[in-house]
Amino acid sequence: MADAITVSAPVSGTDKTLELTTGVLAPQSQGAVVARIGNTQALVTANGASFTREGIDFFPLTVDVEEKMYAVGKIPGSFFRREGRPADQAVLTCRLIDRPLRPSFGAGYRNETQVVSTILGADQVNPHDVISITGASAALMLSGLPFDGPLGAVRLAYSTDGEWIPHPTYQEIDESTFQLVVAGRSVGDGDDVAIMMVEGNGTEKAWSYYSAGAPKVTEAVIAEGLERCKVWIGEAIALQRELVAEAGVRPALDFEAQLDYDDTVLEAVSAYRDDVLTANTVKDKAERNDATTGLRDRILGDLDADGAPLAGRGKEIRNAIRAVTKKVIRERLVNEGVRMDGRGPRDLRPVTAQVGVIPTAHGTGLFQRGETQVLNVLTLGMPRMDQMLDTLGIETKKRYMHHYNMPPYSNGETGRIGGTKRREVGHGMLAERALLPVVPSLLEWPYALRLVSEVLSSNGSTSMGSVCSSSLSLMDGGVPIKAPVAGIAMGLIKEGDQFITLTDILGAEDAFGDMDFKIAGTEDFITALQLDTKIDGLPADVLAGALDQAREARLAILEVMNATIPAARADVGETAPKMISFEIPIDKIGEVIGPKGKVINAIQAETGADISVDDDGTVGTVAIGSSDRGAVAEAERQIKLILDPPTADVGAVYTGRVVNITKFGAFVNILPGRDGLVHISKLGGGKRIDRVEDVVSLGDELEVRVDDVDPNGKVSLTPADQPVEEAKPKSDRGDRGDRGGRDGGGRDGGRDRDRGPRRESSSSSASSDAAPVAEVVSFEDSFDAEVAAEFGDLGPAGDDRRGGSGPPGGGDRDGGRRRRRR
């Protein structure tokens, strides 16, 4: 085994160390690096094919994240007990790695390339996604592939004190109001860092921290964080350079750059420049697509037909048309300040909003901005409908879920509708995080929430349309969110030293532009953002201007939304479950649930309400839900009676239900939270019975009378159809319930177990003038008399009654009698 080459450096402002190691694991990989911080470590490998697949017209880069459950000492929770499809968090990490890597490869490089991050260890203190980005960059630097790196990455958490914390732990993130993940690379001769990718969102507790006085995350705070992050990105870049210097680099891959077209094709297509400009200034997307498609077919007919000058080169002609289109759109914007649909750089497309679209849904919101239309549907459920998480993080479940779907018809196309794609996971999670800071807590709102965004029409930023429609459907469903949230996508065109920021970009402007910047927030603060750039860095003043311009558009959208529904409805809709929740002492949970769930199941069966009980280790929470408010109220009443049960009155008659059966009697529930015991000796109507089940069954209704309530609250019951017995002094032998509970001492028929059969005392009659002697009732004596009458004398009641087998006092009394009967 080769020797390891390890480099490490402290993380400024923390007690942590970032470490990179190569040379031991995955020796046949072109590049392999173990990135580590704390006890969290990821093996990241990078490999590229030595040839280009014929006919490929895109860069086939694949990024995979393998979250191994052994990394955190867990056996996978799936049926097969092995890792299955990637969890949403793993998909998001794949996208985090891919986004800064993809634009960092050499021009024309189209060899198949794969980056795999295998999480070897997860200490559940330090997240693994950021070190995976740095590890991927380091592995590519060693691989010899045409990678324009190195890249660095850092996560920042904004504390309640207004400080940015680098590489925060899970606990520090939870205690902050906002988090940012930023990736960048060095540019120029100095140590300046160009921001390439940003992902950020407010935390679940952000609103409570803001309410307590924590500084809000505004546009200025975000701009400050993006500037501060350059320090730690620079440290990660410097460490990779040190690793490359010590380990060396594989020989550079000799690849053939793939050209989309040559100068001859571009020159021929450029002759149609004016026609391209005219076709791309049609405002309506469908009409514009018809115009550009017609023009493309005409150009192909002129240049690619049989005998034409460029016959057989149709693919190059199509690529050249795209290049000319991009050029004329950007030039018109820079020179005239006019966009392809006729808007100015700061103009927002028409915005409309509607709620209550689907009457059977718990809440709906329909949002449209230009030709982008998103329908969001809210479903409310019981807390047990939370999503269980089987990941390497510290979260085990979540109650607020957002799912995003974009079918082919949203673009007027055909295509396969199948499983959830990575893009849909990413867009859905972005919208989910944008709303997370304003969703009420479990104690404030006991429901589980699922939002589904259906993209019905797409032309620019459907993810931000999902944010707006989600906010509408939540308020329509009566969810008391803290504030409405809106989102907007910003674009950028850079020509020379000139930067033009675009509000509410179209799909084509996203493809032809240099930046995609999505920002969501309330009127007062930012809740989520996502930034991808295709240029080497974003000047601070340009970034600040883009943030302010986005806020202007966000406020305009919020104005339309507020006019549609100014606040959450006072109550949930008719079709939604009505639910309440309240806390209970943790030691009362068992009483509410009952043995094997009998109590809670009985309440649910009687009321029709749906009840769930949960705890956090210190306090229990009961949630009750039903479409009928009366059922909720009745279930709540019964549970609170269990928590503070009423007292049974001695002599009172109750109609109860048998809730448990033991060998010595039946327990009957006579009041909420109050059970009593009907002893087996009282169930036979004066006759001896062998089994309680011969008389009563679980669930039977039984009218009983309260005989006694002892100081500990234990209730003794008698069937109400039996006569009231006079009070008898308690036996000085103590409670014999553990031996059958018979009056007079269990199965021995009143005999003293040490002294043999009981005999009448010769002095009993002489003492008749003294205190009265309690009457002793023995079912054993009665049973023996019945047997003697039928079978004759069976002998004395000593050891011979057991058939003479075994030692004295041994064997089974009933079994011995059965043998004699044979």
DSSP string across 717-735: EEETTSPPPPP-PPPTT--
Phi, psi values for residue 499, rounded to 5°: -120, 130
Pairing of strands 164-166, 151-158: antiparallel
Vertex 210 angle, CA 206 and 214, to 5°: 105
Q: How far apart are CA 492 and CA 102, in angstroms?
A: 19
d(CA 298, CA 293): 9
- The residue written with tokens 């094709």 in the block is 265
- Residue whose token pair is 């008749």: 768
What is the rounded CA–CA span in Å between residue 193 and residue 149?
A: 12
Q: What is the 3-state secondary structure (H, E, C) of 192-229?
A: EEEEEEEEEEECCCHHHHHHCCCCCCCHHHHHHHHHHC
Q: How far is CA 819 from CA 309, 748, 793, 794, 797, in A?
A: 113, 19, 15, 12, 16
Task: Please work out, in degrees rounded to the nearest 5, the angle formed at the alpha carbon of residue 332 by the alpha carbons of 258 and 265.
Answer: 30
Residue type, 360: T
| Helical packing angle, 629-643 and 598-607, nearest 10° | 150
Which residues does residue 155 pair with via DSSP β-bridges, in sequence order? 181
Q: Is the pTM of this model over 0.75?
A: yes
d(CA 45, CA 58): 22
Distance, in Å, from the CA atom of 370 to the CA atom of 351, rounded to the nearest integer, reads 7
E-strand ranges in 694-777 read: 701-709, 715-719
Find the largest Cα–Cα distance for the chain: 140
Give dist(CA 448, CA 610) in Å, integer. Answer: 13
Whole-number pLDDT of residue 2: 76
pLDDT under 50: residue ranges of the chain: 727-777, 787, 794-822
In sequence order, the 6+-apart residues with CB closer than 8 A to the CB of 73 are none
DSSP code of residue 251: P
* Direct distance between the N- and C-terminal alpha carbons of the chain, in angstroms, rounded to an integer: 81
Report pLDDT for 811: 41
Q: What is the helix (H) or strand (E) element at residue 546, kind and residue range?
A: helix 540-564
Tell whether the torsion through CA atoms of 756, 758, 762 and 766 is positive or negative.
Answer: positive
Phi-psi label, residue 422: left if phi above 0, alpha if psi -120 to 50, beta otherwise: alpha
Backbone angles phi, psi at 342, to 5 degrees: 90, -5
In angstroms, rounded to a whole number, what is the distance separating the alpha carbons of residues 601 and 377?
Answer: 31
The string over 425-461, giving b where at least 16 C-beta atoms fall within 10 Å of a residue's C-beta and e elsewhere, is bbbbbbbbbbbbbbbbebeebbbbbbbbbbbbbbbbb
Report the candidate in 458, 455, 482 with the shortest Cα–Cα distance to residue 469: 455
Distance of CA 61 to the CA centre of its chain: 29
What is the reported pLDDT for 727? 43
Q: Report residue 647: phi and psi, to 5°.
A: -95, 135
Q: Render pLDDT for 662-707 as a digit per residue (tens, 0 to 9).
A: 999 999 988 877 889 999 989 887 788 889 998 999 889 999 999 9
**CA dihedral in degrees (686, 692, 697, 700; nearest 10)?**
40
d(CA 635, CA 178): 40
If we measure between CA atoms, which residue out of 142, 144, 155 comes closest to residue 181?
A: 155
Query: Closest Cα partner for 120 from 181, 45, 61?
Result: 45
CA angle, corner 224, sides to 223 and 226, nearest 5? 65
pLDDT at 451: 97
Cα angle: 247, vertex 251, 253; to 5 degrees: 130
**Cα angle 695-698-702, degrees, rounded to a multiple of 5:** 60
Q: How far apart are CA 598 and CA 585, in angstroms?
A: 19
Half-sphere exposure of 526 (CA within 13 A, CB side): 26
According to DSSP, residue 147 is labeled B
CA-derived radius of gyration, the chain: 39
Long-range contacts of range 392-395, CB-CB < 8 Å, 24 or more positions apart?
Answer: 392/67, 392/69, 392/71, 392/72, 392/89, 392/119, 392/122, 392/124, 392/128, 393/89, 393/122, 393/124, 393/127, 393/170, 394/124, 394/170
Of 407, 377, 108, 387, nearest in space to 262 by CA = 108
Residue 510 in tokens:
């996203």
Residue 238 CA to residue 10 CA, distance in Å, equals: 12
Pairing of strands 113-121, 61-67: parallel
Strand order in the sheet with 40-48: 5-10, 17-22, 31-37, 40-48, 113-121, 61-67
Q: What is the DSSP letter of 645?
A: P
DSSP letter at 614?
Answer: E
In whole angstroms, give the CA distance from residue 332 to residue 320: 18
Distances (CA, A) of 148 to 101, 241, 300, 412, 510: 9, 13, 36, 38, 23
The answer to whether the CB of 484 falls within 8 A of the CB of 388 is: no
Dist. CA 64–CA 44, nearest whole Å: 10
**CA 306: distance to chain centroid?**
59
Distant-in-sequence, close-in-space partners of 486: CB < 8 Å, separation ≥ 6: 464, 467, 468, 471, 520, 521, 554, 557, 558, 561
Cα–Cα dist 622/640, whole Å: 10
Q: Which amino acid type is present at position 105?
A: F
Give, to the nearest 10 degrees, the angle between helix 540-564 and helix 219-228.
Answer: 150
How many Cβ atoms are within 10 Å of 16's Cβ, its own excluded?
16
The pLDDT, as a whole number, for residue 766 is 38
